[in-house]
């Protein structure tokens, strides 16, 4: 489902279980993404629910260029991983985006094996290497996929 301000706290708790502190978004960032940015149509957040609880969350920024959606955050509860929830959220994004958005783009840590396996399976390929991209000096890669490929995946 599409998330709004009511999902702020569960998403923050999910992020705390999923990311090292420097990779988490500040509460103010999530508040903006779920509120004003969502209302403006520049941010789309999807959550996966199990038993009424948020077990997965994805945020995408819809760029002003009108055709690239940047997958900005993706997290699945550690206890629910490996069951396809991450893939489901990304494919759901590819279905829900406004029609003009034809490209998905994202950055991921070079050594994030689980995420890279998932993105590769969904049709993403390396677009750019990003040395020392993360605040702790970790390397990143920028991946891209056509929306059509992700929808088929
Ligand atoms: C990345 C993440 C969202 C994936 O969510 P998920 O629900 O487990 O994803 P899926 O079940 O759809 O797919 C996971 C794939 O990774 C594989 N995988 C899991 N752990 C792995 C590991 N350590 N090494 C290699 N592959 C791994 C699984 O086997 C699965 O692939 P398969 O379906 O071909 O078997 C989840 O691991 C997560 O929240 N990680 C922490 C936050 C994060 O790193 N987010 C991405 C930032 S860009």
| C-beta of residue 54 within 8 angstroms of C-beta of residue 14 | yes
Q: Does residue 78's CB lie within 6 angstroms of at least one atom of ligand 1?
A: no
- DSSP bridge partners of 83: none
Q: Look at residue 57 in the predicted model and tell me its pLDDT.
A: 98
Tell me, what DSSP letter sits at residue 41? T
This model's pTM is above 0.85:
yes
Q: Look at residue 56 in the predicted model and tell me its pLDDT.
A: 98
Q: Look at residue 63 in the predicted model and tell me its pLDDT.
A: 85
Q: Look at residue 130 in the predicted model and tell me its pLDDT.
A: 98
**CATH number of the domain encompassing residue 43:** 3.40.630.30
Q: Identify the CA nearest to 35 among candidates 8, 13, 67, 55.
A: 8
Pairing mode of beta strands 53-62, 103-109 = unpaired
**CA 128, 132, 137: angle at the middle one, nearest 5?**
150
Q: Look at residue 78 in the predicted model and tell me its pLDDT.
A: 95
Q: Look at residue 152 in the predicted model and tell me its pLDDT.
A: 79
Pairing mode of beta strands 103-109, 125-130 = unpaired
Q: Does residue 113's CB lie within 6 angstroms of at least one atom of ligand 1?
A: yes
- Residues of the domain holding 77: 5-152
Q: Does residue 34's CB lie within 6 angstroms of at least one atom of ligand 1?
A: no
Q: Look at residue 58 in the predicted model and tell me its pLDDT.
A: 98
Q: How close is the Cα of 112 to the center of ligand 1, in Å? A: 9
Q: Does residue 85's CB lie within 6 angstroms of at least one atom of ligand 1?
A: yes
Probe residue for ligand 1, chosen from 55, 59, 73, 81 as the CB with the greatest number of ligand atoms within 8 Å = 81
SS3 at position 31: helix
Sign of torsion, CA 134 136 139 145? negative
Looking at the structure of the chain, the number of domains it has is 1
Per-residue pLDDT 10s for the chain (153 aa) are: 999 999 999 999 999 999 989 889 999 999 999 999 999 999 999 999 999 999 999 999 998 778 999 999 999 999 999 999 999 999 999 999 999 999 999 999 999 999 999 999 999 999 999 999 999 999 999 999 999 999 876
Q: Does residue 39's CB lie within 6 angstroms of at least one atom of ligand 1?
A: no
Q: How close is the Cα of 44 to the center of ligand 1, in Å? A: 21
């Amino acid at each position: 489902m599409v998330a709004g301000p009511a999902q702020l706290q569960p998403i923050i708790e999910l992020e705390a279980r999923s990311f090292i502190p420097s990779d988490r978004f500040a509460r103010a960032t999530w508040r903006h993404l779920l509120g004003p940015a969502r209302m403006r149509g520049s941010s789309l957040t999807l959550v996966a629910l199990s038993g009424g609880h948020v077990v997965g969350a994805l945020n995408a920024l819809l760029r002003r260029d009108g055709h690239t959606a940047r997958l900005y955050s993706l997290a699945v509860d550690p206890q629910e991983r490996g069951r396809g929830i991450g893939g489901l959220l990304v494919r759901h994004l590819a279905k829900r985006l406004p029609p003009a958005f034809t490209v998905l783009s994202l950055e991921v840590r070079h050594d994030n094996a689980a995420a890279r396996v998932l993105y590769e399976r969904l049709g993403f390929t390396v677009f750019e290497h990003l040395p020392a991209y993360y605040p702790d000096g970790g390397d990143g890669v920028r991946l891209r996929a056509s929306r059509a490929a992700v929808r088929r995946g």
